[in-house]
Amino acid sequence: MHTLSPRRRKAITAGVVIVASASLLLTGCGRGGDSTGSSGADGPKIDDKPATGTLEIWAEGADGAKLPEMFQKFKKDNPDLKINMTQVPDTDFVSKMTAAITAGTVPDLIYSFTEHQSGLLATGGFDAVPDGLVNEDDFFPAIWDNSVIDDVAYGVPWYAYADMTIYRKDLTEKAGAEAPTDWDGLRSFGEKLKESGIEYPLALYVNYDSYTARQLLTFAKQNGGGFISDDQKTWTINSPENVEALEYWSGLIKDGLASPDGPEFLDTVSWSTTGKNAAIIDGGPWFIGWFDDANGKGWADEHIGVAVGPAGPSGEEATTVGGGSWLVPTDSKNKDAAWKFTRFMSQPESQVQWYKIFHNMPALKAAWDDPAMQDDPVLDTVKKGLETGVTLPKVSTWTQVGDVIGQQIEKVVRGGVSAKDALDEAQKQAESIGVGN
């Protein structure tokens, strides 16, 4: 009979609803502050002998379609290993994995998007990274720290990305503007594009949910703020720095530089293509390929420029980042093979190969020295952003609290509520919800 430890039983029964409701778009996440963690498994170190048996992998989202291309090299070096992979849609992954932890019917290895890791780790259903498996200093800190709890690492980053300012360079030049580098420059950029006839120069994230809150968090970090204390125990949503960030962000909408109603995520490319807006603020690097998909190969090179996100009033840099990490469930039946495959996927050549296959960018700093990662403005901008990455509050209640913040942001934009009053209310509700861990 399968039994749960007290920590896991308590975490699952208290947190399953929160975990299952986690937001399902691919974006940045994790712990703020400068906390780091080391691997801390008590079991034996993973040796260099070939893996054997069967390795069951659950792959989240579209990435799984190409993942078997990475199996070939690993199986060549581990000929007595059989790998079975199940591709699970993003929309089902969190609930399916939580149910599997509860029932003890887990796979041997999963990879999880960064925004889902806090909720999954709150179940207590994953092993710590074995000592010596990888070196945390080899990874970008914001990505590594995402799966660290109480200074113990539970995940090994596989790939990473950083958001950026994506702008129409032809429209920018016509308006006599320059790519923004700070808050003053972003407003000036928007004003010049507005004067040139662009209806809504800036595209902000205006779904008024946890992803709108995520964008506000990046602006707050640029202003020296943040939503939670470094120990992840106390919400700090209504700090003066955060209020100032919301006043600035909402002011872009109130002054007509951004629309309060769009674009919706899937409409972003069409708005930028037609010139309804001229810049995507905090946009993911995948948009570049989407522009070519919509308008023909080479369109992005001709029309699109990229820049790191604007620095705050005091020069503080902060960038939304995200990606995915490998995690091994505690009830895995082949942990040896799971960790050995994780180690294989954490080698620079493996992460570069995955970039060539699927265009997901390396989480390992050394992989960026490969010739394949050179002489590309988008890659250069992503790398710079990864060095100033911001992670979301690493608590299982983040999505719920983030939605509260998003709802309050909408009241500032539409309802005439002040930024201070809105964040005071968000703080009050967040304290009632708690941190859940």
The answer, yes or no, to whether residue 429 has pLDDT greater than 80, is yes
Contact of 348 with 144, CB cutoff 8 Å:
no
Rg (CA), the chain: 22
CATH (domain of 62): 3.40.190.10
Tokens standing for residue 277: 């807006």
* pLDDT tens for each residue of 209-232: 999 999 999 999 999 999 999 999
Q: Classify residue 217 by burial, with Cβ atoms within 10 Å: 0-12, 13-18, 19+.
A: buried
Helix or strand holding residue 25 (H, E)? none
Domain that holds residue 178: 164-319+395-433
* Domain co-membership, 348 together with 363: yes
Q: Give domain status of residue 262, yes or no.
A: yes
pLDDT at 35: 38
pLDDT at 391: 85
* pLDDT tens for each residue of 362-420: 999 999 999 999 999 999 999 999 999 998 899 989 989 999 999 999 999 998 899 99
Q: Classify residue 139 by burial, with Cβ atoms within 10 Å: 0-12, 13-18, 19+.
A: buried
Helix or strand holding residue 191 (H, E)? helix 183-195
Residue 33 confidence class, pLDDT cut points 50, 70, 90? very low
* pLDDT tens for each residue of 151-164: 999 999 999 999 99
Q: Give domain status of residue 390, yes or no.
A: no
Q: Give domain status of residue 314, yes or no.
A: yes
* Domain co-membership, 17 together with 155: yes
* Domain co-membership, 338 together with 291: no
Q: Give domain status of residue 400, yes or no.
A: yes
The answer, yes or no, to whether residue 427 has pLDDT greater than 70, is yes
- Residues above pLDDT 70, as percent of the chain: 90
* Domain co-membership, 411 together with 324: no
Residue 360 confidence class, pLDDT cut points 50, 70, 90? very high
* Domain co-membership, 187 together with 269: yes
Residue 265 confidence class, pLDDT cut points 50, 70, 90? confident
* Domain co-membership, 152 together with 179: no
The per-residue b/e assignment along 182-210, b for 16 or more CB within 10 angstroms, e otherwise, is bbebbbebbbbbbebebebbbbbbbbbbb
Average pLDDT score over the chain: 90
- Residues above pLDDT 90, as percent of the chain: 83
Q: Give domain status of residue 26, yes or no.
A: yes
**pLDDT greater at residue 27 or residue 211:** 211
* Domain co-membership, 136 together with 195: no
* Domain co-membership, 217 together with 290: yes
pLDDT at 12: 36
Q: Give domain status of residue 94, yes or no.
A: yes
Distance from C-alpha of 62 to C-alpha of 413, rounded to nearest angstrom:
35
pLDDT at 115: 85
Residue bearing tokens 């800036």 = 202
* Domain co-membership, 253 together with 312: yes
The answer, yes or no, to whether residue 436 has pLDDT greater than 90, is no
Among residues 184, 250, 240, which one has the least CA distance to residue 212? 250
Q: Phi, psi at residue 417, to the nearest 5°?
A: -80, 140
pLDDT at 24: 31
* Domain co-membership, 73 together with 190: no
The answer, yes or no, to whether residue 21 has pLDDT greater than 70, is no
* pLDDT tens for each residue of 95-133: 999 999 999 999 999 999 988 898 899 999 999 999 999
Q: Into how many domains does the chain fold?
A: 2
Q: Give domain status of residue 69, yes or no.
A: yes
* Domain co-membership, 145 together with 174: no
Residue 39 confidence class, pLDDT cut points 50, 70, 90? low
* Domain co-membership, 291 together with 192: yes
Q: Give domain status of residue 1, yes or no.
A: no
